[in-house]
């Protein structure tokens, strides 16, 4: 399984490169940001180029993983459908072909004949990623690829990616919005139980130097006694230390904000964009806990980051279940841990895979205990 982790890190870096190329190359960037108006407004494409960028990344990951691990190919799922309708009303299935030229020809049919954009995108898809990996060779995970499934979120926080704001972030602080919040998320889970076991997060826009944007990757493995992560667990703060920090969505319920404000104080109730990024903030110790009361995230948002939390001794719980049945006191809490193998049969579309009870992500059980204690009975 170390080979699967290394492959996922490479394909996530390829995905990050596609995301950067779509912003750097003028023909692609214009498609990314333009919105059709007037008589063209109802034409299916080019306004959906941002969706095509998502689909291309998703299908590239599916293609590369399936080539090396064919037993997983039918169990790789993502946010997007790969069916597109072009300006002529033709239905095109977006896939990664055997050669760059063939992929460019296919993309051109979706892009209404825009050969330059199709060629640039195909070049990025077929370009190998260069990545220096450390700590992955000695991992021994007693799992077979045939036991596993994969969730992909090709570009989490798409709106931040499209808007492209470049935020200046102080060391040790989270980024409330902007390109830094856009992430590539890949999660591997056990199909029989839904337990997340491998997570890969790639931040394509981590920092900028004179040559352009540079990315950063994070990974974690959690299965039985095997716990490994590319980042160190942040140091625990004393339980009595004031100012526990919680990160929320700015659209979170007012009742949740009001319940947590006394616990956090004015400066440590924080807001950020992107579900994946908010979980990454907990992983990196930029926030103690992430709370979301709505069922507005999905399995592809949480599976990868969840594995990193578990590798560091934390977890991610269904908030509604956690509030109903209690919370961990002095030990790891399994009640309500999110799983990734079962859909909500009563729902339709993407909602079948929603984390319907909301979620709470944490590293320290004592911090979780305090947050749940404040929220219980408040909403």
Known active-site residue 54: yes
d(C-alpha 50, C-alpha 28), whole Å: 10
Q: In 10 A of CB 167, how many CB atoms?
A: 13
Q: Of the residues 25, 59, 64, 79, which is catalytic?
A: 79
The two three-digit tokens of residue 261, written as one number:
């404000």
The answer to whether the annotation marks 156 as part of a ligand binding site is yes
Q: Of the residues 64, 80, 114, 153, which is catalytic?
A: 153
The answer to whether the annotation marks 334 as part of a ligand binding site is no
Known active-site residue 138: no
Known active-site residue 128: no
Q: Of the residues 54, 64, 288, 374, which is catalytic?
A: 54
The answer to whether the annotation marks 128 as part of a ligand binding site is no
Q: Which of 68, 66, 60 is nearest to 21 (CA)?
A: 60
Query: In residues, how long is the chain?
Result: 379
Known active-site residue 153: yes
d(C-alpha 194, C-alpha 334), whole Å: 13
Q: Of the residues 61, 152, 155, 201, which is catalytic?
A: 155
Give 375's contacts (C-beta < 8 A, 6+ positions apart).
256, 259, 260, 291, 319, 323
The answer to whether the annotation marks 74 as part of a ligand binding site is no
Which residues make beta-bridge pairs with 337? 317
Q: Of the residues 73, 158, 162, 321, which is catalytic?
A: 158
Buried residues in 280-317 as b, exposed as e (16+ CB within 10 A): bbbbbbbbbbbbbbbbebbbbbbbbbbbbbbbbbbbbb
Q: Of the residues 25, 114, 301, 318, which is catalytic?
A: 301
The H-or-E segment that residue 151 falls in is: strand 148-156
3-state secondary structure of 370: helix
Known active-site residue 79: yes
Which segments of the chain does DSSP mark as H helices, in order?
2-24, 26-33, 49-68, 100-110, 115-126, 158-163, 254-264, 275-283, 299-311, 319-325, 365-375
Residue position matching structure tokens 């450390």: 134
DSSP letters spanning 28-91: HHHHHH----GGGTTSSSSTTHHHHHHHHHHHHHHHHHHHH-GGGGGGEEESS--EEE-TTS-E
The two three-digit tokens of residue 46, written as one number:
């080019």
Q: Of the residues 80, 156, 195, 374, which is catalytic?
A: 156
**How far is the CA of 299 from the CAs of 55, 354, 355, in angstroms?**
17, 6, 7
Detail the residues annotated as belonging to a binding site.
79, 153, 155-156, 301
Which of the residues are catalytic? 54, 79, 153, 155-156, 158, 301
Residues annotated within a binding site for Mg(2+): 79, 153, 155-156, 301
């Amino acid at each position: 399984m170390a080979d699967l982790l290394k492959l996922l890190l490479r394909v996530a870096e390829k995905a990050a490169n596609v995301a950067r190329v779509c912003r750097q190359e003028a023909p692609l960037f214009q498609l990314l940001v333009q919105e059709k108006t007037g008589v063209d407004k109802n034409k299916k494409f080019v306004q959906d180029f941002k969706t095509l960028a998502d689909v291309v990344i998703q299908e590239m990951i599916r293609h590369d993983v399936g080539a090396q691990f064919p037993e997983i190919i039918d169990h790789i799922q993502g946010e997007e459908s790969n069916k597109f309708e072009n300006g002529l009303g033709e239905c095109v299935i977006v896939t990664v072909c055997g050669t760059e030229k063939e992929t460019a020809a296919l993309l051109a049919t979706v892009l209404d004949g825009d050969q330059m954009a199709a060629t640039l995108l195909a070049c990025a898809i077929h370009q190998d990623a260069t990545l220096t990996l450390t700590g992955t060779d000695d991992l021994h995970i007693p799992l077979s690829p045939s036991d596993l499934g994969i969730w992909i979120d090709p570009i989490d926080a798409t709106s931040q990616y499209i808007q492209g704001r470049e935020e200046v972030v102080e060391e040790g602080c989270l980024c409330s919005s902007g390109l830094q919040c856009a992430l590539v998320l890949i999660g591997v889970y056990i199909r029989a139980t839904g337990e997340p076991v491998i997570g890969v997060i790639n931040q394509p826009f981590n920092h900028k130097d004179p040559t352009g944007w540079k990315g950063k990757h994070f990974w974690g493995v959690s299965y039985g006694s095997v716990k490994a992560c590319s980042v160190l667990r942040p140091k625990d703060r004393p339980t009595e230390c004031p100012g526990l920090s919680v990160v929320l969505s700015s659209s979170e319920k007012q009742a949740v904000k009001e319940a947590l404000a006394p616990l956090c104080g004015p400066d440590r109730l924080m807001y950020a964009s992107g579900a994946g990024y908010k979980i990454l903030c907990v992983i990196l110790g930029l926030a103690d806990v992430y709370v979301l009361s709505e069922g507005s995230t999905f399995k592809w948002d949480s599976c990868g980051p969840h594995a990193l939390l578990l590798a560091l001794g934390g977890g991610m719980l269904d908030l509604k279940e956690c509030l109903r049945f209690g919370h961990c006191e002095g030990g790891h809490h399994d009640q309500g841990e999110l799983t990734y193998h079962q859909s909500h049969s009563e729902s339709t579309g993407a909602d079948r895979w929603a984390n319907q009870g909301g979620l709470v992500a944490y590293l320290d059980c004592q911090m979780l205990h305090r947050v749940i204690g404040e929220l219980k009975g408040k909403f």
